Amino acid sequence: MALALEGIRVLDLSRLLPGPYCSMILADLGAEVIKIEEPNWGDPTRWTPPRAKHTGIAFLMLNRNKKSVTLNLKQPQGVDVFRRLAQRADVILEGFRPGVVDQLGIGYEEIKRLNPRIIYCSLSGYGQDGPYSHRSGHDLNYIALAGALGLTADERGRPVIPATQLADLGGAMAATIAILAALLARERLGRGQYIDVALLDAALSLLPVAAASVFAGRSLPVGGRFGLNGLFPFYYVYETKDGRYLAVAPLEPKFWQNLCRALGRPDLSEKQFAQGEERRALFDELRRLFLTKSLNEWREILDRADVCCEPVLSLEEALHHPQIKYRQVVAEMPHADEGKVKLLTLPFKLSETPATIRTPAPRLGQHTETILRELGYTDKQIRDLNKAGVTKAKGGSVRHLLTKVLLKIVGE
């Protein structure tokens, strides 16, 4: 079976979520992704709970289809190995703070001299330049600064932390798109290029409608309601008699009219865009109506009425939903250490070059010796690199002890 990115080699220096999610997409599409990991610990998601049997479940999800090479980039021999790898690579992905790769001697300008066709993508919190470029942060910080967190609120008006990492995943998607665009451009230009992705920028890019409202002169206070963020009764979440919830979204007038008829209140059809007190009264009436029946009763009624309405499911319920099962969104793969592992597939279907999950997440350093031999290293040279701590950890027992202590601290 043909794979869209077959023949493309990616060196992935990133850890945790944003970079690995980007390279996961590239790997599923057929790229050879070589995950460069520090010999002592590797990617922290390897040991961060919750875990399957031995490995963090996030690592298993994000690192399928990848190869693992352990390399100490603080040693000159490690830098030399990386440079030799870079000469044969198409893409480099890194997630360090700005300037770190230059200090290590593996920054874009250095690698570009060795391989002018390299596509070098840097993922950072605030970007490679600007007054915040060297500031530390995580997803929550980025969505706060981008104004995204301020657009959510609970009943008391307090910002609500989203259930997923918007900036991290938005940045990963942006990096993926940029890398694919750069690969296509390379076919025309004959050379690679540098990509600067800021997770802050990515978070802001996910707010086109809200930003357009601000550009138009509208004020959006922290925790305030606007547009499709809880301002309108026809785009809202309502509680049912049994304590469950319905996501009701009859945005178009025809669907709103269908809803009003299904509720036995056709007289409400003219009040879809009611303002002020009339809107508050409409909210109150809809809340009252939805509390008169259970979730399943409403589903049966509204499914027949052709209304944009779905139940609010738990993730466990969603993963067993017949539509999600039919779309094969969940895949299962055997893993040598973990048994059968369930994974989410990519959210699109390609008719000629489908994305596939071919191999499970690798053990730490599983492919180091194989890759070194491909680069021309002899068995003696490989042993010397191991002894010098370039490709293998020193003091493994200490590492094991520290891991156990950390796991106890975080509650596993």
Answer yes or no: is 48 within a domain.
Answer: yes
Torsion (CA) 36, 39, 41, 43 in degrees, nearest 10: 0
CA dihedral 299, 300, 303, 304 (to 10 degrees): -160
How does pLDDT run across 8-20, given as a tens digit for each residue? 999 999 999 999 9
Res. 403: pLDDT tops 70 = no
Would you state the pLDDT for residue 395?
60
Q: Indicate whether 233 belongs to any domain.
A: no
pLDDT at 410: 47
Asked, for residue 234, whether it belongs to a domain, the answer is no
The yes-or-no verdict on residue 159 having pLDDT over 70 is yes
The answer on 145 and 252 residing in a single domain is: no
Q: What is the mean pLDDT of residues 62-67?
A: 98
71/18 same-domain check:
yes
Domain boundary among 285, 311, 337: 311
**pLDDT(219) > 90:** no
Does 340 map to a domain? yes
Tell which of 311, 335, 357 closes a domain: 311
Determine, yes or no, domain membership for 150.
Answer: yes
CA nearest neighbour of 344 among 353, 335, 355: 355
Beta bridge partners, 196, equal 122
Residues 305 and 362 in one domain: no
300, 331: one domain: no
Average pLDDT, whole number, for the chain?
94
Asked if 193 and 274 sit in the same domain, the reply is no
Share of the chain above pLDDT 90, in %: 89
For residues 373-401, give the mean pLDDT.
84
232 within some domain: no
Q: Identify whether residues 397 and 249 lie together within a single domain.
A: no
First to last CA, the chain: 42
Mean pLDDT within 301-309: 95
Residue with the larger pLDDT of the pair 321 and 220: 321
- Tell me what pLDDT residue 407 has: 53
d(CA 76, CA 85): 14
Candidate list 28, 43, 168, 196, residue with the active-site label: 168
For residue 162, being part of any structural domain is answered with yes
Q: Which of 256, 278, 311 is the last residue of a domain?
A: 311
CATH of the domain at 142: 3.40.50.10540
Predicted pLDDT at 220 = 78
pTM, entire model: 0.93
- The boundaries of the domain holding residue 375 are 9-206+326-409
The pLDDT value recorded for residue 398 is 45
Q: Residue 307, class by beta-carbon neighbours within 10 Å (0-12 exposed, 13-18 middle, 19+ buried)?
A: buried
Average pLDDT of the segment spanning 258-269: 96
The answer to whether residues 296 and 351 belong to one domain is no
25 and 119 belong to one structural domain: yes
pLDDT at residue 229 in the model: 82
Q: Mind listing the pLDDT tens digit for each residue in 92-105?
A: 999 999 999 999 99
Looking at the fold, whether 301 and 330 belong to one and the same domain comes out as no
**pLDDT above 60 (res 123):** yes
Neighbours of 53 (CB within 10 A): 9
Dihedral sign (CA 275, 276, 282, 283): positive
Together in a domain, 69 and 160: yes
Active site residue 306: no
One domain for residues 185 and 77: yes
Name the domain count of the chain: 2
338 or 396, which is more confident: 338
Residues 191 and 330 in one domain: yes
Which amino acid is present at 360?
P
Q: Indicate whether 4 belongs to any domain.
A: no
